[in-house]
Amino acid sequence: MDVIKNYINGSFVESTSTRTADVMNPATGEVQAQVKLSSKAELDDAVAKAAEAQKAWGATNPQRRARVMMKFGALINENMDKLAELVSREHGKTLPDAKGDVQRGLEVVEVCMGAPNMLKGEFTDNGGPGIDLYSMRQPLGVVAGITPFNFPAMIPLWKMAPALACGNAMILKPSERVPSTALLLAELLKEAGLPDGVLQVVNGDKEVVDAILDNDTIAAVGFVGSTPIAQYIYGRAANNGKRAQCFGGAKNHMIIMPDADLDKAADALVGAGYGAAGERCMAISVAVPVGKETADALIEKLVPRVEKLKVGPYTAGDDVDYGPVITAQSKARIEGLINSGVDQGANLVIDGRGFELQGYENGFFCGPSLFDNVTPDMDIYKEEIFGPVLSQVRADSYEDALNLVIDNDYGNGTAIYTADGDTARDFAHRVNVGMVGINFPIPVPLSYHTFGGWKKSAFGDLNQYGPDAFRFYTKTKTVTARWFSGIKDGGEFNFKAMD
């Protein structure tokens, strides 16, 4: 069986650890590889090597670093099919979805090609008599990225591209469930011209995470995952004097107003709720139609669309809408939450429990489920399901719908479907959520803006990618300079004044 290695100083290195984790094929339920779970000592050694490599990389001018990003972007494009295949094989998502995973990461790489412009400082001429002031952005040194299973390419690229473009070295710890994509990206970076040691990929579990948080050399940590772990990482990192940006869970609502185009809204809900088997932090898991007539009409439009969804392995190609969830434990948790929704009085309109696919009986497939008459006190509403389950919560008025979103613990993404510009504008201004869609179901900003949630969806002051990433991965140094004149009143040059 294949044993997945670490990537240290530009080479694949097998961990000396005796602890391993299985890398599953979610479609078949079979173990396809094993990954060794590295030790604290291995992490510390990788950090020391990265710190040494960073000295020259940080001193390399931004334009040359940008050229590496340019070549890296070209190599990602050339290897798109290979990368997508790796994503699908370990995560289970369909190939079109996997290509989208890679593409959204590539877009951040493309923005990082403009690093010289993003890293420019400020200048004040003659701020005082003969005094100039200027600022410069300098790399932090060694930083770390801890990335989740649901986007094996996109989120590692969101972390590594701006960190490296800013002149840092990076320790990347991908999810042990999907380690291979990060390793291929590391190989492509080397081919693009990144010096050995500037990117180290260290596979592991909580032992490596804690070692990252406690290592004195690592100056900043970026994380994406569940809210409890995001809180833990943020607190421990901050306690150790590190910068941290930690993104957690979500419970994303879409409000559907009575004047909305219900066909477009229903199509959007199906794509946003069930795509990638619901394993997205930006998935819409709650539909909030306003008024009984809207709710009744929406559920009628949703039912045939949800019933037509095709579930299967990525090898089935374009004939599949979504694939399996990541593990058997995830499937059991999702079905447990569906059970709780039924027990607590919600109307299970479409039941995806017990779904089996011929020839893939041991795969981790969940059929699509659709609830109506869900209320905010139910577990199916309160918890992030991270599976192919959509809940309809009925609201009597726009204010009731808006307050559902405002009162929710999470604040990652939200959307509204309406034909009224005043309502849409009011919603965008009042809702306390980091990313807002207007007639747009998954409002992930383009890569030259910035991605980040509010409330329990994010911990830290700066967001991912865009301008915030360049702020997060650099520190500002401000210089106040005065040069004494070397010219005497009579015009004779005073060499002593230049000593």
Alpha-helical segments (H) within 79-125:
80-91, 95-112, 115-118
Per-residue burial over 337-374, b = 16 or more CB atoms within 10 Å of its CB, e = otherwise: bbeebeeeebebbbebeebebeebeebbbbbbbbbbbb
Cα 203 to chain centroid distance, Å, stands at 18
Please tell me which residue in 112, 166, 246, 281 is annotated as part of the active site: 281
Sign of CA dihedral 360, 361, 365, 367: positive
Which residues lie closer than 8 Å to 135 by C-beta, 6 or more apart?
Answer: 121, 122, 123, 476, 477, 478, 479
281 classed as catalytic? yes
Query: Number of C-alpha atoms within 13 angstroms, CB side, residue 80?
Result: 16
Residue 135: count of CB within 10 angstroms of its CB? 13
- DSSP symbol at 153: T
Q: How far is CA 340 from CA 235, 277, 365, 393, in A?
A: 32, 20, 19, 16
Per-residue burial over 273-300, b = 16 or more CB atoms within 10 Å of its CB, e = otherwise: bbbbbbbbbbbbbbbbbbbeebbebbbe
Residue positions annotated with a catalytic role: 281
